[in-house]
Structure formats: C-alpha cells, structure tokens
Amino acid sequence: MKRNMLTDYLLKQSLLLHQLAHLNLAQWDINVLQQAQIINQRQSDINECN
C-alpha cells in the first residue's frame, strides 16, 4: 500500500513539473511577443519621425 501511495505521489509531482514547464514556455513566448511589439512600435515611431 505504501509503495502505491509513493508511486501515486511521484506521478502527481511529475505531472505538476511537466505542467509548470509548459507554463514557463508559454511565459517565454509571451515575453518574446511583448518584446517584438515594443520593437515594432519603436520602429514605427522612428519611421514617423523620418
């Protein structure tokens, strides 16, 4: 019984880590998109000045 509980616990922890990794990747994607927006806006501002 204890072995099954430990296995279940470790599987749940593994799943949580996997989900956390996906959240981290999603956050990285969001950060990249935000940086791209900032760069595009600055380029637009520069183009308007020229």
In tens, the pLDDT along 2-33 reads: 889 999 999 999 999 999 999 999 999 999 99
**Cα(39)–Cα(48) distance, integer angstroms:** 14
Predicted local confidence at residue 50, as pLDDT: 84
Whole-prediction pTM: 0.69
1, pLDDT greater than 90: no
| Alpha carbon separation from 37 to 18, 20, 30, 40 (Å, rounded) | 29, 26, 11, 5
